[in-house]
Structures are given as C-alpha cells and as structure tokens.
C-alpha cells in the first residue's frame, strides 16, 4: 500500500514534468541542446591538456575521457532529476507552500525529491554513451562485463551520495531560507568531478574524497570500467555512501521538525 | 523568532547580530470539537489562529501540550491521519501555476489513492456545485482569483476529508463569489458530515456558517460558545430601527434609548434587552411608526469591542505587574 502510493506519486509527478516540458517545449529543447554543447565544449580543455603530456597523474587521454563520460551522465542526472526539485522545494520553503507537501499522506522527503524533472536532460545519457564508445576506441580495448557491472554499482553509490548531499543542502534551506549561493557553490564544486581525482593533491584531494566525494562519483566508476578498481575500495565507497544517506535522512527529519512555515 | 526594527541601519546590524525573542504564539488553549460541527475560529491579526490550525494539521510541532485530531497525534504525520484531513489556505495555493487545475487534481488523486470512478464522480460533483465548467482545463495562471480559489477547494476535497480546516478561504473574493464559496462549504459539511474549523475576517462567513465560535487573542482562549451567546455577552443591547412619518426631535427619541444613527424619517437606537419591550411600546404610542426592526449589534462591532476589552485587560495586568513583559 505504502509502496504503491509512492509509485503512483512518482508516476503522477513524471507525467506533470512531461506536461510542463511540453508546455514550454522551446525552452526545454534549448536547455537540452545547450547541455550537449557544454559537454562538447568541456572536452576541449581535457584535449588541450593531454596534447602537451601523454599522461596526467597516471591517466591517459582515453582513460580520462571515461571519467568525463561518468561526469556527463551524473551532470545530466543532477540537472534533470535533482536540481529541478531542489529549486522547487527552496521556493516552497520561502513562500510557505511546503505546507501542502507536508499535508500529503506520503513521505515528505520522497514528495520533495520527486517534485520536478527535466526530461530533455536525458539527452546527457546519449552523450555519455558516445563518450564511452570514443574513449574505448582510443584505448583500443573494451570493458569486461564484470567491469560494467561494477561500474554501474559504483554509479548507484555515486547517485546515493549526490542525492544525500542535495538533501543536506535543502535542510540548510529550512534554516537559512534562501540558499541560492550554496546551490551555486555546490554546482561549481561538482564541476571538479570531470577530472580524475588523482589530479588533485593535498587539501583538495581530501575534500573531494571525504567531504564531497567526487572521486566516488566519477573516478571510481571509470576505474571500474578499466578493471582497476579494487573491491575493498568499492566496498568502502558503498559503506560511505550509506553513511551519507543515513546522515542526510537524520538531518532532514530534524529540519522538518523545526519547519516554521511562512505566516498566512 | 528573529526580529529587527525597520530601516537600513537596523537591517545591516541584523546581518551580524540577530536579536531573538521568544514569542508564545499560542499558550494554554484548550477546546474540543465534535464530529460534524462547524466552528468559527476568531481573533485579531496575530492572535495565533493560523499557528493553531497548523498545529492541528501537523505542520507545526507544539512545544508542550497534547493534540488529538480524529484519534491521531497530528505532528506524527501518519498517512491514516493525513488521509482524513485538509487545510485550505486563502493566501497560499497548491495549484501548479503553469498547468490547468485538472492536472493538480490528478496529482492529488495519485497521492490519496482515490479510485478512478470515485475521483470522476467527486470532481464532477464539486465542479458542478462551484459552477466551474471547463475552467479546470485552463492553465491556472489564466484564472481569476475567485476561479482559482474555487479550484483550490476542489483540489483540497478530492480525497473527501472528514476534517476540514479553512484559513481565510474567502479572502479577497468579491461578494457574490464569497456567498457561493460559503454555500459550498456548508453543503460539503452537510453532504459528508465533515467537521469544519474556519477562520475568516469576514463576519458574514462566520455568521452564515458557524453556530459555535472559539475566540483567541494573543494566543489565549477568550471565548468558546455559541455565536448568540457571544453577542449577548459582549453587547447585550439590541438595535432598534424605527421608520416614522413626520418631523420628530431628538428630545422625543432619546428617552427610548441611545441614538446611534439619525436620518430623515429614520433612527437607530441602542436599547438594553430589559428595556426593549417598554421602548417599543412607547415608540408605538408616541410616534407615527411606519416600520420597526429589532436586531443584535453587527458582529464586526461585537468582535472589535471584545478585542478592545482584551487589550484593555492586558494593559491593566501589565500595569499591576510591571516586571512581566507581554
């Protein structure tokens, strides 16, 4: 019954998102086209850097492209499935219409997380597959089935972390009300995920592994595809992802408890 | 809550140092409402009405005390509880701005798991009662305020809630739409036996809908009883309106009661209940009366007098105990 209700809500929200996408189809098509353009443009610096040197921090151009592929996929997911809801909920907190979400007989975190999607961003999926194919053609090999399975499992962990970070950002919105800056900061930091994590040294390396684990989101899946990701690291990453999810859930529940709404 | 005085300097100060003050929005309010009752919830601005409604619907968590609505603790937000209640807010809307209201209805159908046939029947019935017709298929942003409010009501009632909280449902609406919404709310209550709790600044809403009223002021309960009783308590005097022929001087009228309004051939008098019979017979004997009506004081006046008394009482209390800040 509970699951059924939540699935029905998800279906209804997806339907609404498609309707909205149709309503403003030019905006959304342009949005999709722009994201493809940005992906193509983002490969340029990578190409330029590798033209100077064959290897950077142990990565060849082809290998680094795999990281780029996962980044493109996650970026599409972030902007297509996560950010639209985030923008919606922040607005709801500010205007107090989050009241209506909390009045609904379903898990509030679920309702808030599935509020809005941007279907055109799914184009990123196609772009990332194209990058993977190109990268492996440069490398002259292909991934093993085991590697693909491990990479997908790693991607799932990456999504869990990305989503948890996002829930934490919203929780801040309950206290700070307006957090546009925090959102931009997060997006800017996320951009670093397009580089293999070993490129970063010192403090940055620590931050990108443990605070905002970008390594887990893009570098580990790329290593899994290459067959170089040790299983211990894989297990540790999943454990970390679960801790992230649990902390996010706890913080979220506390935030809902202290929600003050906006006055009538 | 965080507060600051208006102005740029104060605003800048508050960026660095916020002054916090604990405000008790609602304090020691106790009441119970029977199933199917229609209750008006009144109080001046900032009395704590909305806060109370939000606690009753589980949106806000009370710091102390207990709340039981339909056998549930609201703040637990159990599905079995939320399935039975709804809060309609005249100043906030749940309709999706860029899509027609019918799409929001569909979303609510999914959330509340309403079977398709029951959903169709409910939506048809509600849209007919509110005379909405095909408006539910127009994007929300193209609807007038009144049309939007009617659609809000439909969206709120798709799951046929048994307990309905209405916070200023008629605010900003023109008089005829107000009447329509009011009639609709009453027929919903009668048709589904739903319990209603309503706040409104329009006393006509309250007079038309609510046999019982609960009044709070500064977060404290100041009255709980029937509307008639409230009027009798606060303003026991009646309004006696006389229409008469001929020229009559004030000296002939003032013995009947206190003159409130005077115009050519008409006077409105305030007369104590106990002296009403005497005043009427005297008027009939001494004046050439064409028409005569006896009414209670207008509700607006009754309420404003009640709130003024409340303020005066608090001022007296504060005077006696200067240490206790309000």
Pair of tokens at residue A133: 């194919």
Q: Are residues B204 and B291 in the same domain?
A: no
Q: Are residues B137 and B243 in the same domain?
A: no
Question: Searching chain A, which residue's CA lies closest to the CA of residue B112?
Answer: A105
Q: Identify the CA nearest to A162 among candidates A188, A183, A181, A190.
A: A190
Number of structural domains found in chain B: 2
For residue B289, the model assigns a pLDDT of 87
Strands (E), B120-278: 163-167, 195-199, 212-217, 220-226, 238-244, 258-263, 266-271
Q: For residue A191, count other CB atoms closer than 10 A to its CB.
A: 13
Q: Identify the CA nearest to A103 among candidates B108, B320, B316, B213.
A: B108
- Please spell the DSSP secondary structure of A78-142, one letter per residue: IIIIIHHHHHHHHHHHHHTTHHHHHTSSS-HHHHHHTS---GGGGHHHHHHHHHHHHHHHHHT--
Q: Are residues B188 and B64 in the same domain?
A: yes
Whether the CB-CB separation of B69 and B81 falls below 8 Å is answered with yes
Q: Are residues B145 and B278 in the same domain?
A: no
What is the per-residue pLDDT across B101-127, written as a single tens digit (0 to 9) for each?
A: 999 999 999 999 999 999 999 999 999
What is the per-residue pLDDT across B226-266, written as a single tens digit (0 to 9) for each?
A: 988 888 888 888 888 988 887 777 888 888 888 888 888 88
Query: Which of residues B202, B231, B260 is at a domain's end?
Result: B231
Report d(CA B155, CA B94) in Å as an integer.
8
ipTM over 0.90: no
Residue that has been written with the tokens 């994007």 in this structure: B139
Give the nearest partner residue to A103 out of B61, B86, B168, using CB atoms: B86
Give the domain CATH number at B286: 3.30.70.1150
For residue A35, the model assigns a pLDDT of 74
What is the per-residue pLDDT across A29-40, written as a single tens digit (0 to 9) for each?
A: 787 788 778 778
Host domain of residue B256: 236-296
Pair of tokens at residue B115: 């079977």
| Mean pLDDT computed over A103-122 | 88
Give the domain CATH number at B45: 3.40.50.300
pLDDT confidence of B192, banded at 50, 70, 90? very high
What is the per-residue pLDDT across B89-106, written as a single tens digit (0 to 9) for each?
A: 998 999 999 899 999 999
Residues 6+ apart with CB under 8 A from B151: B95, B101, B104, B132, B135, B136, B140, B143
Which chain B residues are within 8 Å of A1, Cβ to Cβ?
Answer: 113
A20/B107 touch (CB, cutoff 8 Å), yes or no: no
pLDDT over 60 at B193, yes or no: yes
Q: Are residues B241 and B135 in the same domain?
A: no
Q: A178 — contact with chain B (CB < 8 Å)?
A: no
Closest CA of chain B from A100, distance in Å: 6
SS3 B28: coil
Q: Are residues B166 and B227 in the same domain?
A: yes
For residue B186, give Cα distances in angstroms to A73, B53, B88, B189, B195: 54, 19, 15, 5, 11
Q: For residue B13, count other CB atoms closer than 10 A to its CB.
A: 14
Most confident of the ranges A10-19, A122-131, B248-257, B303-312: A10-19
SS3 B113: coil
Positive or negative CA dihedral for A121, A125, A126, A128? positive
| Mean pLDDT computed over A148-155 | 94
Whether the CB-CB separation of A264 and B92 falls below 8 Å is answered with yes
Whether the CB-CB separation of B245 and B258 falls below 8 Å is answered with no
Closest CA of chain B from A225, distance in Å: 40
Q: B162 — contact with chain A (CB < 8 Å)?
A: no
What is the per-residue pLDDT across B16-75, written as a single tens digit (0 to 9) for each?
A: 555 555 667 778 788 999 999 999 999 888 888 888 999 999 988 888 889 999 999 998
What is the per-residue pLDDT across A99-108, written as a single tens digit (0 to 9) for each?
A: 999 999 999 8
Residues 6+ apart with CB under 8 A from B92: A95, A96, A97, A99, A100, A264
Residue that has been written with the tokens 């639209």 in this structure: A84
Q: Are residues B187 and B244 in the same domain?
A: no
Whether B195 maps to a domain, the answer reads yes
A23/B112 touch (CB, cutoff 8 Å), yes or no: no
Whether B308 maps to a domain, the answer reads no
Q: How many Å is the Cα radius of gyration of chain B? A: 24
Count interface pairs A-B at CB distance under 8 A: 86
For residue B23, the model assigns a pLDDT of 63
Q: Identify the CA nearest to A39 among candidates A9, A74, A6.
A: A74
What is the per-residue pLDDT across A56-73, written as a single tens digit (0 to 9) for each?
A: 888 899 999 999 999 999
Report d(CA B269, CA A51) in Å as an integer.
98
pLDDT over 60 at B322, yes or no: no
Q: Are residues B204 and B250 in the same domain?
A: no
Whether B312 maps to a domain, the answer reads no
Question: Searching chain A, which residue's CA lies closest to the CA of residue B114?
Answer: A5
Q: Are residues B253 and B156 in the same domain?
A: no
Q: Are residues B211 and B225 in the same domain?
A: yes
Percent of chain B residues past pLDDT 70, beyond the cut: 90
Give the nearest partner residue to B61 out of A95, A108, A257, using CB atoms: A257
Q: Are residues B73 and B150 in the same domain?
A: yes
Q: Identify the CA nearest to B282 among candidates B305, B307, B248, B326.
A: B248
Q: Are residues B225 and B241 in the same domain?
A: no
Give the nearest partner residue to A102 out of B59, B106, B168, using CB atoms: B59
What is the per-residue pLDDT across B200-227, written as a single tens digit (0 to 9) for each?
A: 888 888 989 999 999 998 888 888 999 8
Pair of tokens at residue A68: 């780029």
Report d(CA A132, CA A149) in Å as an integer.
15
Tell me whether residue B49 is exposed, middle or buried, using C-beta atoms within 10 angstroms of its C-beta: 0 to 12, 13 to 18, 19 or more: buried
Whether B60 maps to a domain, the answer reads yes
């Amino acid at each position: 019954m509970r699951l059924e209700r939540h699935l029905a809500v998800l279906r209804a929200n997806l339907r609404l998102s498609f309707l909205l996408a149709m309503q403003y189809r030019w905006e959304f098509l342009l949005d999709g086209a722009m994201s493809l353009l940005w992906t193509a443009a983002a490969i340029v610096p990578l190409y330029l850097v590798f033209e100077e040197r064959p290897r950077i921090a142990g990565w060849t151009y082809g290998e680094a492209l795999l990281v780029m592929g996962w980044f493109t996929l996650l970026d599409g997911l972030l902007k297509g499935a996560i950010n639209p809801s985030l923008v919606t909920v922040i607005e709801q907190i500010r205007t107090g219409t989050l009241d209506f979400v909390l009045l609904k007989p379903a898990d509030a975190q679920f309702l808030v997380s599935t509020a809005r999607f941007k279907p055109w961003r799914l184009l990123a999926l196609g772009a990332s597959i194209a990058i993977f194919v190109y990268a492996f053609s440069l490398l002259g090999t292909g991934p093993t089935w085991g590697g693909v399975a491990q990479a997908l499992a790693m991607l799932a962990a990456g999504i869990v972390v990305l989503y948890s970070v996002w829930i934490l950002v919203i929780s801040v919105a309950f206290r700070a009300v307006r957090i546009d800056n925090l959102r931009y900061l997060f997006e800017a930091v996320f951009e670093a995920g397009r580089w293999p994590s070993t490129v970063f040294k010192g403090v940055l390396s620590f931050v990108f592994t443990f605070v905002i684990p970008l390594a887990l989101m893009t570098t580990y899946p790329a290593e899994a595809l290459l067959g170089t990701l040790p299983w211990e690291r894989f297990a540790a990453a999943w454990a970390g992802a679960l801790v992230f999810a649990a902390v996010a859930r706890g913080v979220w529940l506390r935030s809902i408890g202290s929600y003050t709404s906006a006055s009538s | 809550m965080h507060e600051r005085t208006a102005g740029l300097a104060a605003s800048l100060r508050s960026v660095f140092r916020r002054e916090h003050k604990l405000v008790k929005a609602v304090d020691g309010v106790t009441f119970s409402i029977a199933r199917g009752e229609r209750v008006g919830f009144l109080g001046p601005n900032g009395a704590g009405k909305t806060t109370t409604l939000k606690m009753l619907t589980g949106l806000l968590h009370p710091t102390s005390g207990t709340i039981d609505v339909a056998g549930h603790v609201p703040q637990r937000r159990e599905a079995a509880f939320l399935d039975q209640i709804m809060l309609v807010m005249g100043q906030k809307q749940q309709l999706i701005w860029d899509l027609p209201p019918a799409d929001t209805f569909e979303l609510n159908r999914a959330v509340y798991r309403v079977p398709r046939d029951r959903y169709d029947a409910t939506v048809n019935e509600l849209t007919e009662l509110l005379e909405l017709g095909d408006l539910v298929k127009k994007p929300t942003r193209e609807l007038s305020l009144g049309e939007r409010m009617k659609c809000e009501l439909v969206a709120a009632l798709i799951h046929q809630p048994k307990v309905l909280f209405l916070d200023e449902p008629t605010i900003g609406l023109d008089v005829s739409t107000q009447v329509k919404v009011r009639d609709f709310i009453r027929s919903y209550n009668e048709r589904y036996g739903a319990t209603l709790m309503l706040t409104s600044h329009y006393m006509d809403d309250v007079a038309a809908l609510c046999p019982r009223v609960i009044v709070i002021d500064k977060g404290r309960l100041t009255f709980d009883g029937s509307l008639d009783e409230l009027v009798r308590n606060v303003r026991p005097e009646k309004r006696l309106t006389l229409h008469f022929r001929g020229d009559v001087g004030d000296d002939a009228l003032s013995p009947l009661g206190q003159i409130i309004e005077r115009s050519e051939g008409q006077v409105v008098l305030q007369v104590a209940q106990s002296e009403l019979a005497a005043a009427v017979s005297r008027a009939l004997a001494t004046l050439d009366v064409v028409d005569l009506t006896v009414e209670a004081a207008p509700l607006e006046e009754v309420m404003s007098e009640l709130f003024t008394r409340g303020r005066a009482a608090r001022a007296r209390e504060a005077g006696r105990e200067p240490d206790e800040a309000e």
